[in-house]
Structures are given as C-alpha cells and as structure tokens.
Amino acid sequence: MSVAWANPWRRAGISTVIGVLALVVLLRSVPLSQVGHNLQPRYISPLLAIVGLTLLSQLVRAARWALLLRGRAPVGLLEALWVNAATGLANYMLPFRSGEGLRLWWLAKRQRQPAAAALGLIVADHAFDLGGIIAVLAAGTVLKATAADTQLPALPALGLILGLAAAALAVIAGGAYLGPRLVTCGPASRVLRQSWSEALTRQSLVFWSGLGSVSSRRFAVLMAASAVAVGLDGLAFSMLFFALGLAVPIASALVAQVTLLFTYLLPAAPGYVGSLEVGGTLLLTSIGLSPGAAAGAIVLWHALATACIVGLGAVALHRVLRASKVASGTRQ
C-alpha cells in the first residue's frame, strides 16, 4: 500500500475509489429518498445570495492577491481574479494540487518572478487564508464556551480544529525558529528527523520571502481582507439553510463552513466527491440536523459550489490562457 501511495497517479486512483465508496456508504446509511427530499430548496433568493456572496468573496481574495504582489508585479483586480479562479478550478478537478502549479507558471512566465519568490507568495497567500480561518474558529470557540450559541460543534472538536489550524500557521511562520530547536529538544529529537527540521525551516523561509515587500500597514489590510473573505464564505453557507428552511444560526453556519474546509486537506476524488458528502453530513448532524437533512443540505451545497467553481473557473482559465498567448505573440 505504501508503494502504491508513493506514486501520485496511483494515489489519485486510490483516493477516487475511496471517495466513491464513501458516497456509496453514505447513501446506504441515509436513504436516497430522504436525501432527495431534503435537498429541494424552499426559497430561491438565498441560492442567488450564495452565488453573489461567493463571487464577492473571490473578489476580496483577488484584491488581497493583487495587494500581496504589489511592489513585485503590477497586477490588476480582474487579472488576479482570473488567476485565482483558474487555480481553484484546477485544484478542484485535478489531483496533486495542480492549480498551484498553474499559479507558479503564471508568476514565473507572466510576472517574471523567480521560482523561490513565486513559491513564497503562494505560501503567504494561503497563510492569510489560514489566519482568517483561525479568527472565525476562535470566535466560535468563545461562543460555545460561553454558551452564547449552543448549536455549534462540540467544544472539544472546536478546540482540536483550532489547535490544528494554529499549529499549521505556527509551522509555516515559525518553522525557521522551531525546526532546529525541535531537533535538539530531548523527546522531539527522538521523533523528528533532521530532514523534517530542514523542511520546516525551508517552508518558513519561503513564507517570509513572500512577505518580503509587505509593509506592516499592508499586512494589517491583508489580514482584514482574509477575515472578510472567510466571513463571506460563511455567510454564503448560512444562506443554504435559509433556502432549505432549516433553523441554523448564522454563527453556527460560519463555524461549520470553516470546519468543513478541513475536508479539502485530505486526499480526495476529483471534485471532492464522497469525502465532502460524508464529512459534511457528519459535521451538520453534530450541529443538530437530522442525517437526512444534513445529507440533503451538503449535497445541494456541493452542487452549488461545483457550479460556481467550474463556471467561474472555466471563464478564468480561458482568459488566463488567452492573455498568455497574446503576451507570447507580442514578445515574438
């Protein structure tokens, strides 16, 4: 199994089989008739709001990406939007995080960025998203701990996810400090290989190289944009329950949507088929929905998300490739 998993194409095939099997298991545990009944929206306007909020979130992220690149490459809002959307489409439909390869190519070929700088910018952009996620999870944990919102996921689960997110950000930002010290630390030195310490250090140095031209004032704006983008995603998710006539508080929807993002970190079939349905159903049942309502809601959400990602991404990919072709012709 380890040999098969080391091969990226076999890994993609195995992940696809696992995703399909997960979907089959879900449909066997929750009758298809229940899923079909519970995914029928009662109101159309919240569905339109989902599309609008999703597009607005993408615009905010595009503005953040353009702002992050300022000082290195002059990139307009629309160009940043097309690149982000094309990246999202490639990551969604293809294995191996292919979209990041697309962004690396765009930064190297169109923006003339060295490979190390391009990688640092991408890592920094993802780190800002992670910072927005941590802010929402921290607020949700406080609401749950103070019983201000009892429909949130269980406090231990929230604490665990918040801890994982904070640890990931600490590794990204502080690996250059942590790596060598973990190797020299008694208990950690017996577990952590020197190659892992070197990897942590490289990751951290790449991250800080991406922030090399960012002033403290612009850093604050980038953090605020990240929080706004994550909040818009959560509001879009809350519209799903309004459309289905389900009583889910907005705060619970925001935290649930952020928690759901962690299912995207696992190896999955193209389009996250199976893994998103199973993870989403388990998550939504934990905030009080019945299995049928949870499964119906997540299937509808998956369909809407796919339509937004594929629709915007297809237009964006066409624009990116056409712009590249025009630029190549101009240079010739």
Interval 133-173: pLDDT, tens:
898 889 888 888 887 666 777 788 888 888 988 988 888 88
Sorted by sequence, the CB contacts under 8 Å of residue 316 that are 6+ apart come out as: 81, 82, 83, 84, 85, 86, 89
Residue 7 lies in a domain: no
CB 189 within 8 A of CB 178: no
- Taking a C-beta distance cutoff of 8 angstroms, is the pair 303, 311 a contact? no
Q: Would you say residue 34 lies in a domain?
A: no
The closest of 137, 116, 281 to 206, measured between CA atoms, is 116
- Tally of structural domains, the chain: 1
DSSP letter at 74 equals: -
Helix (H, G, I), strand (E, B) or coil at 282: helix
Query: How far apart, in whole angstroms, are the C-alpha atoms of residue 97 and residue 87?
Result: 9
- Structure token pair of residue 317: 């990919």
Helices 194-210 and 155-184, packing angle to 10 deg: 110
What amino acid is encoded at 253 in this protein?
A
3-state secondary structure of 39: coil
**Residue 101 domain-assigned (yes or no):** no
Q: Is the pTM of this model over 0.75?
A: yes
Residue 138 lies in a domain: yes
> What domain range is 219 assigned to?
43-93+119-331
Residue 29 lies in a domain: no
The secondary structure of residue 263, as a DSSP letter, is: G
> Could you say which residues of the chain have pLDDT below 50?
1-5
- Is 37 a domain residue? no
> What does the CA dihedral 259, 263, 264, 266 come to, rounded to 10 degrees?
140
pLDDT at 96: 63
